[in-house]
Structure 1
Amino acid sequence: MNPSEIVETLAKLGVTPTKGKGQNFLTDDRVADRQVEFAGIGKDDIVLEVGPGLGVLTHRLASKAKKVVAIEADRKLAEYLRGTLPENVELVEADALEVDFPPFDQMVSNLPYSISSPIIFKLLDYRFDKAVVMLQKEFADRMVARPGTDDYSRLTVNVFYRADCRILERVPASRFWPAPKVDSAVVEIVPRPAPFAVKSEKLFLSLVDSLFQHRRKKIGTILKMIGMVDAEQKASLPYVDLRVEALAPQQIGELADAVHDVRKK
């Protein structure tokens, strides 16, 4: 849909795009075509879409998949979609953060910017084959960041631990209406077994959260501050004089295992 069509349709529905809802509508059909092509959807696949908006991507997904489950939180947009979508689309009118995802093979979505982070963390808890999602470029950069960079984050480590991730293409802000203040990127996420083993996944993920929450402090200081180890236990741990941004995910795993061992003694 071009910008004038989007404006006209939204006006008829009485919908005013808001930053709070992260509503920016894709105006370039070629981008939507490439998203579907990147996903490689098969005729037996069930595809999950979060934030279908006006259905620009949804119709393309439905033409390839066995079934599409589209979750839309906006009541007026959901009402519009019910009258336009093909029969193999199941529309769920709900907040995607508050409902369980049904079984699905792939997620293909232009995610509302306002919920990108919690949706990605939620997605990583599910079993699926591939996700092709549009996100803020800055957020996508954090997903694939290298240690030692400003973009390296809790998100980076969580994604790396659970999946292969790569940026497929950059999408300028001008390809949306209303145009956001930042560019976007299409990202591919393919789940895989963790590339390194840890003795306690719960401890590892908790440690990742704590270290990045206080990323400007030295690791030893953080561990004592949060009560994870005492001074004597700290003395036998690796990396305590470094900051978390200096550690690769595997090294954070080594630290988690060391913490696990000293706490058992």
Structure 2
Amino acid sequence: MNPSEIAAILAELGASPAKSRGQNFLIDDRVADRQIEHAGLSPQDTVLEVGPGLGMLTGRLAAHAGKVIAIETDAKLASFLVGRLPENVELIEGDALAVDFPPFDKFVSNLPYSISSPIIFKLLEHRFEKGVVMLQKEFADRMVALPGSDDYSRLTVNVYYRSECRILEKVPRSRFWPAPKVDSAVVELVPRPPPFEVEDERLFFRLVEMLFQNRRKKIGTVLRMRSLVTAEQKALLPYVDLRVEVLSPEQIGELSDRVAELRAR
């Protein structure tokens, strides 16, 4: 689907690409075809897609999977899709952040930039076999960043704890209409058991969020500032004179276990 065709459809719908929703439509069939290849779909698969837009990826998913469930929040785009999608596609009109995800095997989506972060966090709470997701390149870089880098973040640690993640390909901004200001990337997510154990997952994720919100402060300062430990307990903890941005996820897990142990006394 080329820009002229997209513009004509949107004009007929009385719609236009909404920046607030991160609506940039993929116009390169080759990229969509490679996403299908990356997903390795079979007739036994149920695929979840968030943000089908005008259905460029949806039709390809339906041709290779047993069932596709597509969630679209834009009422005008959803109305366009009704009656145009294959029979094995279930269309849900609603906000993907509010809709409960139904059971699915694979997640294949070109995610709107505006909801990338909350959707990835929501996705990681579900059981699935594989995800192939188009994201803003800068966001994708954060997902696979190494400790000590500027891109290393809460997102990095949460993704690493729950899945294996890799960038499959970079997609230039010219492959979309309207062209966004940044490039994109196709990312693969394969869930797996955590590579390390923690005593209290809730405390671990709370600690990750808290420390990265204050990434320029020393860990001991943050823990005292948030009243997680006393001054005496702080002296018994590792890494308190470092900043979280230099710790590996495993080291943050070690810190979390020591905090849990001290708080239980």
Task: Determine the structure 2 residue equivalent to 1:117.
Answer: 117
Q: Distance in 2 between matches of 1:192 and 1:149?
A: 24
Calculate the TM-score normalised by the size of structure 1: 0.99
Once the two structures are superposed, what CA deviation does each residue of 1:80-125 show, in whole Å capped at 9, x if it has no partner? 0012101000000000000100000000000000000000000000
Q: Distance in 2 between matches of 1:15 and 1:47?
A: 27
Task: Determine the structure 2 residue equivalent to 1:132.
Answer: 132
Secondary structure of the 1:20 match is: helix
Task: Determine the structure 2 residue equivalent to 1:52.
Answer: 52
- What displacement does 1:3 show? 1.0
1:222 matched to 2:222? yes
Report the number of matched residues. Answer: 265
Task: Determine the structure 2 residue equivalent to 1:239.
Answer: 239
Task: Determine the structure 2 residue equivalent to 1:27.
Answer: 27
AA paired with 1:234?
A: K
AA paired with 1:129?
A: E
RMSD of aligned residue pairs (Cα, Å): 0.5
AA paired with 1:31?
A: V
Any unmatched runs of 5+ in structure 2? none
Q: Distance in 2 between matches of 1:101 and 1:200?
A: 26
Q: Distance in 2 between matches of 1:21 and 1:3?
A: 18
Identical counterparts, % of pairs: 72
Secondary structure of the 1:203 match is: helix
- What displacement does 1:31 show? 0.2
Task: Determine the structure 1 residue equivalent to 2:108.
Answer: 108
Once the two structures are superposed, what CA deviation does each residue of 1:123-171 show, in whole Å capped at 9, x if it has no partner? 0000000000000000000000000000000000000000000000000
Calculate the TM-score normalised by the size of structure 2: 0.99
Ranges of 4+ aligned residues in structure 1 off by more than 2 Å? none
Q: Distance in 1 between matches of 2:133 and 2:141?
A: 13
Q: Distance in 2 between matches of 1:239 and 1:164?
A: 26
1:72 matched to 2:60? no
